[in-house]
Amino acid sequence: MIKKERIVEKFLEYVQIDSETKNEKLFANKIKLELEELGLDVYIDKAGDKVGSNTGNIIAKLKGNKDIEPILFSAHMDTVTPGICIKPVIKDGVIYSDGNTILGADDKAGIAAIIEAVRILKEENIDHGNIEIVFSVYEEGGLYGSKNLEYNKIESKRAFVLDSGGSPGEIIIKGPAQDNLVAKIVGIPAHAGVCPEEGISAIQVAASAIAKMNLLRIDEETTANIGIIEGGKATNIVCPEVTIEGESRSLVNEKLDKQTAHMVKCIEEACEEFGTKAEIDTCRSYSAFNVDENDEVVNIVRNACSILGFEVTTKASGGGSDTNVLNGNGIKAVNLGVGMKKAHTLEEYISIEDLVNTSKLVLEIIKNA
């Protein structure tokens, strides 16, 4: 049986260990030690060297005593900013930060739930098959840890990622692909007060391009956004250069291709109109995934929820996660709700009930696998 006081204590301890993206080493060392004390074989891969983090992904294995296919549980160790000196506060059964930082339930709630379930397995001598655990680095901002995971060390073909904001019982079976776009628009500088007609304002070109773009919610499966605009020297100089950065996402690859092409075309047409040019780079950050409603990996979660009395919902997500990358590497994966709310904000919180129930679900998945 999941021990409420212990999982809360561990979660509070975890969120107070700084682990902003690319600086996960201190937290990784803590988790590695705990897993080793529980009898798992633990390996830290070389992903950190490739992506600029100060540690790699944790790959841990617990040998089972049942001859069944292995299963994988995954969560990420990094947090977004501001995540330094987090001070958790409990109020009316809910855990918040003190309001000066994020809380870090994204995704330390998933890590706490997985480790507590493993503790119960060991303490109660529950029969199970081989279990693999991946705690990734640099998930936020690009899924770079999972993209560089040493997959030759993973045996599982079924995975459960604990990194969604829904309550335990929510199963994410679809996730979008994402394209990133960076465009450097080159103008011509001139004195803005003396001879502005001799210049071409890169800001004006960028504004024209963005104004023509279909952005934000495109349809129920597709979104797009321009998130960063940088450029300009001074108010008395016609702007010589602007960089814009954006993204597009869709559950359907063809729609994503169309949306990205549309954004590129808007930039090219604006440059042609003003008589200038742009350097445009687009890349596919990660691919979409779509797990069948009746796939075995979904039914395992559904059966576990039924035993626990949790309501089950399956849905698509507009966000990317390590689930996308695992599916792209031949591991059938779904993303599970852990109860984190308002992630990436100073108002982030999680209820103790959801934290405990997530660990219950992990344990029941192991039993039902």
Q: Is the backbone peptide bond immediately before 219 cis, with ω within 30 degrees of 0?
A: no
Q: Which amino acid, 161?
A: V
* 89 strand-pairing partners: 96
Q: Report the DSSP beta bridge partners of residue 205.
A: none
Question: What letters, b where the CB count within 10 A reaches 16 and e where it falls short, cover 145-162?
Answer: bbbbbeeeebebebbbbb
337 touches 357 (CB < 8 A): no
Whether 78 is catalytic is yes
Active-site position among 139, 163, 179, 247: 139
Catalytic residue, candidates 78, 116, 322, 364: 78
Amino acid at site 337: G
Per-residue H/E/C for the chain = CCCHHHHHHHHHHHHCCCCECCCCHHHHHHHHHHHHHCCCEEEECCHHHHHCCCCCCEEEEECCCCCCCCEEEEEECCECCCCCCCCEEEECCEEEECCCCCCCHHHHHHHHHHHHHHHHHHHCCCCCCCEEEEEECCCCCCCHHHHCCCHHHCCCCEEEEEEECCCCCEEEEEECEEEEEEEEEECECCECCCCHHHCECHHHHHHHHHHHCCCEEEECCEEEEEEEEEECCCCCECCCEEEEEEEEEECCHHHHHHHHHHHHHHHHHHHHHHCCEEEEEEEEEECCEECCCCCHHHHHHHHHHHHHCCCCEEEECCCCCHHHHHHHCCCEEEEEECCCECCCCCCCEEEHHHHHHHHHHHHHHHHHC
Query: Is 139 an annotated catalytic residue?
Result: yes
- Residues 358, 338 contacting (CB under 8 angstroms): yes
Task: Name the residues annotated as catalytic.
Answer: 78, 139
